[in-house]
Structure 1
Amino acid sequence: MKNKERRPARGKPAGLGGKGPRDGKSPAAAVTKPGSGKSREHTRRQAAKSMPEKPPAQADEPTRILQIRAGERPAEHVPLILESLGAGDFHLIDSGDGLKLEQYGPYRIIRPEAQALWPKALPSHVWDKADAVFTGDTDEDGMGRWRFTREALGETWPLSLLGVDFLGRFTAFRHVGVFPEQIAHWSWMKERIEGHGRPLKVLNLFGYTGVASLVAAAAGAEVTHVDASKKAIGWARENQALSRLERAPIRWICDDAMKFIQREERRGSRYDIILTDPPKFGRGPNGEVWQLFDHLPAMLDICREILAPKALGLVLTAYSIRASFYSIHELMRETMRGKGGIVESGELVIREAGLDGKTPGRALSTSLFSRWVPK
């Protein structure tokens, strides 16, 4: 679905869907066995104890009026390029000709990448040894299937990143359960949590499979994780068990993100760090519609209100949209008028690391971001 390039009218209600695999849809896997030519749907185990109960039906949230902010805009740092060479079980091996070759734990996988306009750096025989190739719709949110080049692989496999264990999964939307471009933000968050003298409260909106929430919890934070997809929440709970963090203070909330933060604002709840990684389009558990260009200003406005007085940061990532980082940069500065601090904006990039994971190559841009931090 194309984004509508317009800002919401003042006072327009803004419903938010969950992230799911970047478009608000539930993760399900379709795979093809080598040589069989037959496809089958892989459905995730539905362990009842790992699924949160659906919240009771509630009346529509009252309209939230977008506030007109006064005061000076925060200082700015642009452009800021946050780069990752990989971490843990992940690195980008090579890219080119509209594809990327990645290492996820024991597996090498090939996925479409429209921004890889250059030719491949490594020879064909290296690419030919990939364990899995995503085929089908080349749009970011398009459905397709996985082709296994030698033998059929299991639906899931264990991975580790920044000291957190979780499950990779072959989904029908070409994603595998983690967005490694976020490593830069997660490392930034981890350092601040570990270096603080008290437990920090972290809110992770559109939290998907919970890797960021587990990184924060493992560092010592109290975490509230919100996603509208019940399947994603179940997957996150599986990851929590795999990471041996069952006793960590994490609240798993299956809810529409905008409705949740509106309630938090009325309750007077406050958070030290807020991460938000909304899709360009999504749906909430009760059919609420999220359009990034329509609803993002209201979402950021509420996030400002629920930041703690001595908050350490508000982080926004905008993925797969037709916009400049300056669009969200100026929105963040307007939202944070009178708050002081500095707004840092730019792009998240992953640098090729070769077969050994240590040989720097070309930088692949993955998403835009804007981050407010106190000075």
Structure 2
Amino acid sequence: MSGDRPLATLVAEPWADYGLVDSGHGRKLERYGRFRFVRPEPQALWAPAAEEWRHDGEFLGASDEEGGGRWHLDRGVPRSWPLAWEEVRFHAANTPFRHLAFFPDMAPQWAWMRARLRPEDEVMNLFGYTGVGSLALAARGARVTHVDASKKSVETGKVNAELSGMADRPIRWMVDDATKFAAREVRRGRRYAGIMLDPPKFGRGPTGEVWRLEEGLPGLIADCVRLLTPESRFLVLTVYAVRMSALAIGELLRQATAALGGRVEAGDMAVREEARGLLLPTAIFARWSPATGSTAP
């Protein structure tokens, strides 16, 4: 049918410092450098490959749906430790939010964006967190505006830049509310060659601004599109932990970018399990790219 919208699957493969070792029965076992951790994973509906898992710590989730819980770590696990993806160096850490201070399933997105960059392109990373994605683009010569409401996350991003030997790269580290910053950039008449954004389901800005994904996303995407031109290289949207379809965010992005032309893809992000090669879904995404330019995967 002409109206069909095929969905893509982006698969993060294991690399030296990260791998999904095993999964099943609502949990997953991952390696982060020399350490292994167990975390809840509701989508791991199958049985694990191994009956027992050797690990250095486990996050035990709370019984409510608010995402609470706490880590139970062996004494040998430090507060943070260095990892690498390609030429980017950064610190992993067991955060109160159950993740490890970066999102390994973003690796295929980083590679896709890097393949489309031109020398000196100016890009923006909204909800940039600890800056691994920003550094992945800066490593290829991009000028980066990194925006996050958390001062602690932005400071961690600067530390990661130093660890990567990129403290002198042209990165603007902004502690700001992402929606307000994007709106101001529109009023300033700014344009970007690429934008990536990873908005949370719920959040608060640095001065108490409230963010709810379903309410705020359409307006934010509209502002992001106003910051692009038909010659821009990409807009990448990723969404975690929501009861929402990739079809929904794909249609939102198609409508918003209609005047730019180009192509919109949408689908699932997943990590390949090392034990059996099965795919564990982690997030949904939608991304725009122009009609011409690199076709690298």
TM-score by length of 1: 0.74
1:272–1:139 CA distance, 2 compared to 1 (3 A): farther
Q: Do 1:313 and 1:373's aligned partners in 2 also have CA atoms closer than 8 Å?
A: yes
Structure 1 residues 356-367: aligned runs within 5 Å: 360-367=276-283
> What is the rounded CA distance, in whole Å, between the counterparts of 1:147 and 1:86 in structure 2?
25
Question: Which residue of structure 1 aligns with residue 11 of structure 2?
Answer: 83
> What is the rounded CA distance, in whole Å, between the counterparts of 1:138 and 1:188 in structure 2?
38
Structure 1 residues 96-107: aligned runs within 5 Å: 96-107=24-35
1:24-78: CA deviations, max 9, x gaps?
xxxxxxxxxxxxxxxxxxxxxxxxxxxxxxxxxxxxxxxxxxxxxxxxxxx9962
1:237-256: CA deviations, max 9, x gaps?
11111111110110000000
> What is the rounded CA distance, in whole Å, between the counterparts of 1:139 and 1:296 in structure 2?
26
Is it true that 1:191 corresponds to 2:119 in the alignment?
Answer: no
Question: Which residue of structure 2 aligns with residue 330 of structure 1?
Answer: 251
Q: Do 2:229 and 2:260's aligned partners in 1 also have CA atoms closer than 8 Å?
A: no
**How big is the shift at 1:219?**
1.1
Q: Return the match for 1:130 from 35, 52, 55.
A: 55
> What is the rounded CA distance, in whole Å, between the counterparts of 1:138 and 1:76 in structure 2?
39
Other structure's SS at 1:293 match:
helix
Q: Do 2:93 and 2:101's aligned partners in 1 also have CA atoms closer than 8 Å?
A: yes
Other structure's SS at 2:136 match:
helix
Is it true that 1:145 corresponds to 2:70 in the alignment?
Answer: yes
Runs of 4+ in structure 1 displaced over 6 angstroms?
none
Structure 1 residues 162-181: aligned runs within 5 Å: 162-181=86-105
> What is the rounded CA distance, in whole Å, between the counterparts of 2:48 and 2:25 in structure 1?
6
Q: Do 1:96 and 1:118's aligned partners in 2 also have CA atoms closer than 8 Å?
A: yes
Other structure's SS at 2:77 match:
coil
1:306-354: CA deviations, max 9, x gaps?
0134101111111111011111111111111222111100000111013
Question: Which residue of structure 2 aligns with residue 161 of structure 1?
Answer: 85
Q: Do 1:165 and 1:239's aligned partners in 2 also have CA atoms closer than 8 Å?
A: yes
Q: Do 1:283 and 1:289's aligned partners in 2 also have CA atoms closer than 8 Å?
A: yes
Which one-letter code corresponds to 1:103 in the other structure?
R
> What is the rounded CA distance, in whole Å, between the counterparts of 1:229 and 1:140 in structure 2?
23
1:364–1:98 CA distance, 2 compared to 1 (3 A): same
> What is the rounded CA distance, in whole Å, between the counterparts of 2:128 and 2:199 in structure 1?
9
Other structure's SS at 1:116 match:
coil
> What is the rounded CA distance, in whole Å, between the counterparts of 2:121 and 2:15 in structure 1?
24
Question: Which residue of structure 1 aligns with residue 39 of structure 2?
Answer: 111
> What is the rounded CA distance, in whole Å, between the counterparts of 1:95 and 1:110 in structure 2?
9
> What is the rounded CA distance, in whole Å, between the counterparts of 1:301 and 1:109 in structure 2?
39
Q: Do 1:272 and 1:307's aligned partners in 2 also have CA atoms closer than 8 Å?
A: yes
**How big is the shift at 1:86?**
2.3
Q: Do 1:353 and 1:361's aligned partners in 2 also have CA atoms closer than 8 Å?
A: yes
Question: Which residue of structure 1 aligns with residue 289 of structure 2?
Answer: 373
CA RMSD of aligned residues (A): 1.6
Which one-letter code corresponds to 2:128 in the other structure?
G
Which one-letter code corresponds to 1:185 in the other structure?
Q
**How big is the shift at 1:148?**
2.3
Which one-letter code corresponds to 1:121 in the other structure?
A
> What is the rounded CA distance, in whole Å, between the counterparts of 2:258 and 2:277 in structure 1?
39
Is it true that 1:230 corresponds to 2:151 in the alignment?
Answer: yes
Which one-letter code corresponds to 1:134 in the other structure?
F
> What is the rounded CA distance, in whole Å, between the counterparts of 1:138 and 1:237 in structure 2?
36
Point out where structure 1 has 5 or more consecutive residues left out of the alignment. 1-74, 355-359
Q: Do 1:76 and 1:343's aligned partners in 2 also have CA atoms closer than 8 Å?
A: no
Question: Which residue of structure 2 aligns with residue 35 of structure 1?
Answer: none
TM-score by length of 2: 0.93
> What is the rounded CA distance, in whole Å, between the counterparts of 1:228 and 1:259 in structure 2?
11
> What is the rounded CA distance, in whole Å, between the counterparts of 1:339 and 1:309 in structure 2?
5
Q: Return the match for 1:298 from 190, 194, 219.
A: 219
> What is the rounded CA distance, in whole Å, between the counterparts of 1:120 and 1:229 in structure 2?
36
Question: Which residue of structure 2 aligns with residue 312 of structure 1?
Answer: 233
Which one-letter code corresponds to 1:289 in the other structure?
V
1:139–1:326 CA distance, 2 compared to 1 (3 A): farther
Other structure's SS at 1:123 match:
coil
Point out where structure 2 has 5 or more consecutive residues left out of the alignment. 292-297
**How big is the shift at 1:142?**
2.2
Which one-letter code corresponds to 1:102 in the other structure?
E
Question: Which residue of structure 2 aligns with residue 261 of structure 1?
Answer: 182
> What is the rounded CA distance, in whole Å, between the counterparts of 2:4 and 2:134 in structure 1?
28
Aligned length: 289
Q: Identity over the aligned pairs, expressed in percent? A: 46
